[in-house]
Structure 1
């Protein structure tokens, strides 16, 4: 019995010692080797530093002043998409961080407000850069977002637009099909909204999300008020060539959000009111009186109804109406006058341009940086097309060149937040010294 009691005591002693030793080892392994400061509870993670902007390419430096003296432009306006998608920003901070111009840059521009229709469906960053390039507080902007665009994209555009009193989303959104009637309807939706605007805009220009301006706002105003265009609409085009008549003589059907197909063997009737059909660009600059005519005229409505089953109706609708004497500001047989877009078409290579330095998509050049000399030397209002993912350096360079021009022409002091880049060893005085020039 005593021997049993002794064995039991030894076992309990060993078990206790084992527990103590294991506890010490556990506590030592859990203790940090160096003391760390206490972290506050429920602290939000700190935002990561934004990646630095791309430096301007060697080809770009030829268009930027100061670089011939060895100075460098330091870009800091490139994180546009990140600013929108992270959310939580106050509008005042967003406008500042996007380097948006917030004051009319001249009395000349303030007294001649323009309207813009911008149709978008992708490339959020490119759209934001386009908007800040054309934005002026005296103008008005209608943004049509394709109904099939991702919800995140739609919400980001809605957030941006809500920060400007003179910028709004179209009251009706279309599911746009390439070359379909829905593309024309999208513009008309914005026109209906713009006709109600209290801003006294004088002319309206339409853009897509892959356009970018060549002219400054001041140059646009002066071009619109020039002797040739002061009271006229700009719809470049000619009487419909024979090779394009199938577009309006044969019936087509729009496959919802996908493509346009020809209805086999089905011919259309003649255009209403014995109209001569013209063919031209889908882009225009229209007087406000002409817009009212389009929205209210029986003739315009009849042509619109007739155009619903045609191919790419926006390429005949505007120019056909602009060749009617009754239309305000009409330009009868004006031909291709009106330098609205700089476009490199594949079939014009070697004649109208020196080839595409980027890549062709649907026979239209997506510009590379080596296309910039051709673009900048054109007298066009806008250039088309750009892609931010494939050739970002081209847009970076054109954007900085354009902002430099805009600020150089200003007659008011330049705000530091308007600068998209700063010249090394310099400041906004580079622009302020030339204000009013």
Structure 2
């Protein structure tokens, strides 16, 4: 009669011991945040009518308690964003009533943004700033931690919008370089320097180029950040992506990692021969740049090493191997000298290295000239005024579409990695809703499948030099 009771008691004690052991166990989930800036909630992040729920990255250090699901952990780390004045979901669905309602609000109310001086002051207290702005201070997954990215960001004004871009793409395992234009105001430079000082993996480039649109100075500025990222974090990142301060991501960091892994070492760069030859026939003389453009009177010689120049966007997604070749190989250095004498060198240098397979540049395209003209470009979604589909859903400035509310239904279904351009003061709910969508996708994306087949089947992925 007593033996069953004793057995039951022993089983009960054994069960309790297992329960206690499981609750005391820990598993390594997160990286430590840079500068130990993670903390508890203090106040909501607000800019205008944009509100973020009062959730902040928990200071978990290197561990999280067993029993808490991964989705619960992500939910505690990633900001929960909700616009209070308008329904972004309806705007993304193209609801005309909600569109007209949002336009009416924007017409009747004036939005106030942070000045560069104010951004400087707010970012002086790094701990408070990072808490309030709700930076994601965890790599979130081992896959993301083991696939760090390097970003260069060309900036010249509007520190708040630049900070919103950084906040959207920031992860502690990635690396970020700001090139501040030499023409930028002291207040803007101070704001960017102060912002960067809050993170171990963010910095302002030491050199400040006086950037002039369409001239070689654009390329010079890009090379400044590329070289500093290359030297500071030698072999510590997998891919390089260059941005400007007026862009916003269409993919989460997790999606970027999966896409770039699907590329399998391929570069993504725009390239065409047709527009290049037309332009080169117009450039009968070499050019020199000393702050002003000069014709030398000398005919432009052929490009060295049998390179056939191609034309393409300065925005690129490039492997570490491509960057290494660009900065260190004698062929690239000699071609750079030749490129400096051409018009729009920024649209010639990177793309030509990527589309001349005899150079054996890592990740470069090996397809035919015919394939080059139809090859998709996934790095950037941008609309020019002279394109066959001129719909902008915003306004055109210097021939480029500034996205507005009407374009939201098109933006969130794009396959590109980033969209260019946004002006936060133009129809400000546009960028607000992009933030809401992006953060919510970040938080929910880990429980949803992400199909990379489209990216694996791209021509530049199939035809590449490894």
TM-score by length of 2: 0.68
SS at match of 1:125: helix
Higher helix share: 2
Contact 1:63–1:401 (CA<8 Å) still a contact in 2? Answer: no
SS at match of 1:309: coil
Summarize the Cα distance change of 1:81–1:128 in structure 2 as closer, same or farther, 3 Å threshold: farther
Contact 1:60–1:369 (CA<8 Å) still a contact in 2? Answer: no
Question: Match of 2:49?
Answer: 53
Contact 2:272–2:311 (CA<8 Å) still a contact in 1? Answer: yes
Counterparts of 2:234 and 2:385, CA distance in 1: 42
Aligned counterparts, 1:142-153, within 5 A = 142-153=177-188
Counterparts of 1:214 and 1:359, CA distance in 2: 20
Cα shift at 1:61: 3.3
Aligned counterparts, 1:192-341, within 5 A = 192-196=227-231, 197=233, 200-226=236-262, 229-241=263-275, 242-246=277-281, 249-254=284-289, 256=291, 261=293, 263=295, 266-325=298-357, 326-333=360-367, 335=372, 336-341=375-380
| Stretch of structure 1 that moved more, 165-174 or 202-211 | 165-174
Summarize the Cα distance change of 1:269–1:51 in structure 2 as closer, same or farther, 3 Å threshold: closer
SS at match of 1:279: coil
Contact 2:382–2:400 (CA<8 Å) still a contact in 1? Answer: yes
- Counterpart of 2:386 (choices 343, 347, 351) is 347
Counterparts of 2:90 and 2:121, CA distance in 1: 35
Counterparts of 1:140 and 1:246, CA distance in 2: 40
SS at match of 1:200: coil
Counterparts of 1:383 and 1:180, CA distance in 2: 23
Are residues 1:363 and 2:363 paired? no
Summarize the Cα distance change of 1:248–1:304 in structure 2 as closer, same or farther, 3 Å threshold: farther
SS at match of 1:85: helix
Cα shift at 1:392: 1.5
Are residues 1:130 and 2:160 paired? no
Cα shift at 1:63: 5.8
Cα shift at 1:356: 1.4
SS at match of 1:193: helix
Contact 2:256–2:417 (CA<8 Å) still a contact in 1? Answer: yes
Aligned alpha-carbon RMSD (Å) = 2.7
SS at match of 1:177: coil
- Counterpart of 1:105 (choices 131, 136, 140) is 140
| Stretch of structure 1 that moved more, 293-302 or 238-247 | 238-247
Counterparts of 2:197 and 2:247, CA distance in 1: 22
Contact 1:80–1:128 (CA<8 Å) still a contact in 2? Answer: no
Cα shift at 1:182: 1.2
Instruction: Give the unaligned 5+ runs of structure 2.
Output: 1-45, 51-82, 99-111, 448-466
SS at match of 1:195: helix
Question: Match of 2:218?
Answer: 183
Summarize the Cα distance change of 1:312–1:56 in structure 2 as closer, same or farther, 3 Å threshold: farther
Counterparts of 2:47 and 2:308, CA distance in 1: 56
Counterparts of 2:439 and 2:324, CA distance in 1: 33
SS at match of 1:237: coil
Report Cα offsets for 1:282-309 as digits up to 9, x if no partner: 1111111111111111110111111112
Count how many residue pairs are aligned between Structure 1 and Structure 2: 345
Counterparts of 1:64 and 1:81, CA distance in 2: 29
Cα shift at 1:409: 2.2
Summarize the Cα distance change of 1:205–1:160 in structure 2 as closer, same or farther, 3 Å threshold: same
Cα shift at 1:370: 0.8
- Counterpart of 1:174 (choices 209, 213, 219) is 209
Summarize the Cα distance change of 1:250–1:218 in structure 2 as closer, same or farther, 3 Å threshold: farther
Cα shift at 1:171: 2.5
Counterparts of 1:373 and 1:158, CA distance in 2: 36
Instruction: Give the unaligned 5+ runs of structure 1.
Output: 1-49, 71-77, 412-437
Contact 1:250–1:262 (CA<8 Å) still a contact in 2? Answer: no
Contact 1:341–1:381 (CA<8 Å) still a contact in 2? Answer: yes
Return structure 1 stretches of 4+ with deviation > 4 angstroms. Answer: 54-59, 78-83, 246-249
Contact 1:59–1:370 (CA<8 Å) still a contact in 2? Answer: no
Counterparts of 2:427 and 2:48, CA distance in 1: 18
TM-score by length of 1: 0.73
Summarize the Cα distance change of 1:152–1:378 in structure 2 as closer, same or farther, 3 Å threshold: same
Cα shift at 1:106: 1.5
Report Cα offsets for 1:197-252 as digits up to 9, x if no partner: 157100100001111100111111111111xx211111121225333224765333
Contact 1:240–1:277 (CA<8 Å) still a contact in 2? Answer: no
SS at match of 1:299: helix
Report Cα offsets for 1:342-372 as digits up to 9, x if no partner: 1111112xx4x46112111121101111111
Question: Match of 1:416?
Answer: none
Contact 1:224–1:230 (CA<8 Å) still a contact in 2? Answer: yes
Counterparts of 2:396 and 2:150, CA distance in 1: 30
Counterparts of 1:341 and 1:204, CA distance in 2: 14
Summarize the Cα distance change of 1:51–1:132 in structure 2 as closer, same or farther, 3 Å threshold: closer
